Each structure stands twice: as C-alpha cells, then as structure tokens.
Structure 1
Amino acid sequence: MERIRFLAASLAQRRQDDREIAGFFTIAFRLLHFNRIEGDFAEFGCERFRQVPLAWRAIRSQPTQRQIWAMGSFEPLPAARTAQDLHPRWLAGTATISEGGFRRRCRLAGLPTHACRISRVDLTALDATVTEPSRIALASISCQQFSAVRAVLRWLEPKLSNGMILAFEHYFCFSRFDRSGARHGLEELRMLRPDLNFIPYRTFAQAGQSFVVEDA
C-alpha cells in the first residue's frame, strides 16, 4: 500500500511538472513572437520525450512557426567524467528512450514528420562539424551532467543573440557537495561571454530556470 501511495504521488508530481513546463513554453514562445525573435526551438538531452510534445503544442498556438530540433545520444547515462558530473540521482547506465522509441512517441503524440528533426549526437562531443540548427530562439538544456551541459553551451556560444531564451531543466539540482552541472555551465559561459548578460526569466517544474540573453 505504501508503494502504491508513493507511485501515485510521483505520477501526480510528474503531471504537475508537465503542466508547468507546458505553461512556460506557452508564455516563452508568446514573448519571442511579441519581440520578433526569429529562430527554432532546440532541446539538448531529449531522451525522456518530455519537452518536445509540450513545446510543439505551444509553438502551434503562436503565429510564428518554428522548427523543433531534438538532440541527444539516445544512450544510457554515461559514467561521470569529472567530479562536477556527480549527483546521487545521475546513475551511470540509467536507461533512456531509444531513437526508434522516440520517433514512435512523436507519431503517437501527433507530431508531423516535418515538425521535429531528430539528431543523434554525443552531446559531450558537439563541435563545429554539427552545423544545425543554425538559428535558435529558445534552447532548452535538459542534459544532467556538467560535461554535457558545458559542451552544449560552448556549441551554443557563437549562436547566442539578444532576446533569445536559455532554459535549464536541472538548474537547481544541487547535491550535498556541489551545485548543479547546469549552474556550473552557466557560470563558465558568463566568463566566456562578458559581453552578454543572462537575465533570470521564469522558473518551471521542480528545478528549471530560464534566462533571457541580453547584449551587455
């Protein structure tokens, strides 16, 4: 009975988080449309199939149509590369959805084939050979470990522009010993780009935080 109560509470929390993420996307894409910020939506670390359908519904509600890019390795969570990757919840070998499973869920959710471009890529190895998406209005960093967050942000760094939005799903996932990989990654990005400000925008779900990029 106790396990049933726990599972029910977890499901209720998941649904609440999904509602908050959906609400965030609705407001964020409305703001981007109002400000005439051109570009696509990209999720880095999409293997749980959580944000893509919610973002798609939000994009459909706005006049400005945007391509969705789902980028991830579709492999189990790798072992930590540095101490900053460590977190009691980020267990190496944790299973994620396969690329085939992701595509099937897109079809079941009603996403047209052209709406979402799926890119299987090792996020820790992103470099200039990955050229698309070329223009991003909202980048969502859903990867958990610092090594992946840092590589994604370094890849995004030359694409950052005034008015775009960065969202980190695990920004407040601190451990007893260290701050989150997302927070480490953003602090490193601030040092790389002193010409930019990252203005806190909206929180979402359990640990999400978003920022609007501003020319300093």
Structure 2
Amino acid sequence: MSGVWGWFGGGAAAKKKDSPKNAILGLRAQLDMLQKREKHLMTQMDEQDAIARKNVNTNKNAAKAALRRKKTHEHSLEQTQSQIGTLEQQINAIESANINRETLAAMERAGEAMKQIHGKLTPEKVDETMEKLREQNELSEEIVNAITSNSLGNQVDETELEDELEALQEEALAEEMLKSGTVPIRDEITRMPAAANGEIRGKPQAVEEDDEEAELRKLQQEMAM
C-alpha cells in the first residue's frame, strides 16, 4: 500500500510542479486567440470606414450604418485590447513567481549539498588538523637539520685549501717563466729603476708640449693668411 500511496503522491507532486507551466500555456493560447481577434476587428473597422467614405455623399444611410458598425467594432477592440493587457500581466506574474520558486529551490538544494559536504566538519576540527600538520612540518625540518648538520667524513680546513691554491699558482707562474724565458710584467715594473719610471711618467708631458707647439704654429699660419 505504501508503494501505491507513494506513486499517487509522486504524481501529485509532479502535477503541482507542472501547474505553473500549464497555466502559462493556457494563458498564451488565450492571448494568441485575442491577438488574432484584435487584428480581425481592426480589419473590420477599416472596411466599414471605407464604406462610409464611399457613400458619404451618395447614400447617407449606408454611410451612417457603416459608421455604426465601425463604432461597434471599436468597442469590441477596446475590450479585446484590455483583455490582452490583463493576460500579458498575468503571464509575466506567473513566470516571475515560477522563477522565484525555482531559484529558492536551487538555493535549498545548494544548502543541502553544502551540509553533506561539510558533514561533521567543524572549525575546531579544522584547527586540530592544522595543528597536527604544523607539528609534522616542524618535525620534518628538525630531521633535515639533524641530517645536514652532522655530515659524514672529515671536515676540510679552509686555511689548508688557501695554502694549497697559492702553491699551485706559484708553480704555474714558474712554468710560464721557464717556457717564455721572460719575467712577468708585474716583476719588471717592480724592478724598473726609478729613473726609468720617471722617464715613462714624463712622456705624456712631452706629448702635451708637442701638441701645444702644433696648435701655436697653426694659429700663426692662419694669422699670416
């Protein structure tokens, strides 16, 4: 019996859900009929107006009868247009109400989904989980530091490395001197007599004096011209 009652209940729920749709369909069918009636009345009015204009000077009774029929059509047209406006408002109202209902139902479903997702999750449980993660991360850092700070093997003395590097440099310099038969430039400069250094330092001054003499001769030639 419960299955039967459930089936009837399900049918009632489906019928209730489709009632706005059926109401809108019925209203739109009635609106379509009224719009066709509107066009027909407007055509009838135009025809009676043409008859009245045709007989206005030749047959006044026919013209009056045509105008009377036109007035009747005008009254029917006004009623029809009023009904059209009412139906359009009703359709818009039902559509808006149906949209509101569907929006609310969607929000309710979203709330139920969020409730299922969260389950028994609480801020306290989140804090507890985050604290455990922090503890594990700290433990991992400590393990890494313990491994890297106690590396295997003997530590190399940096001073010994520097001495060994300097010895290699001197050995390479000695080999270079034997191959070329010359003294490195830095040694030649240090061994150069002071007088020679003075001569080297004096050359730029002599060059400057030569430049001045050349400028002076050029100026004299220009003045002679």
> What TM-score range do you get, normalising by the shorter chain?
under 0.3
Q: Which has the higher strand share?
A: 1
TM-score normalised to structure 1 length: 0.20
Structure number with higher relative contact order (C-alpha < 8 Å, ≥ 6 residues apart): 1
Q: Which has the higher helix share?
A: 2
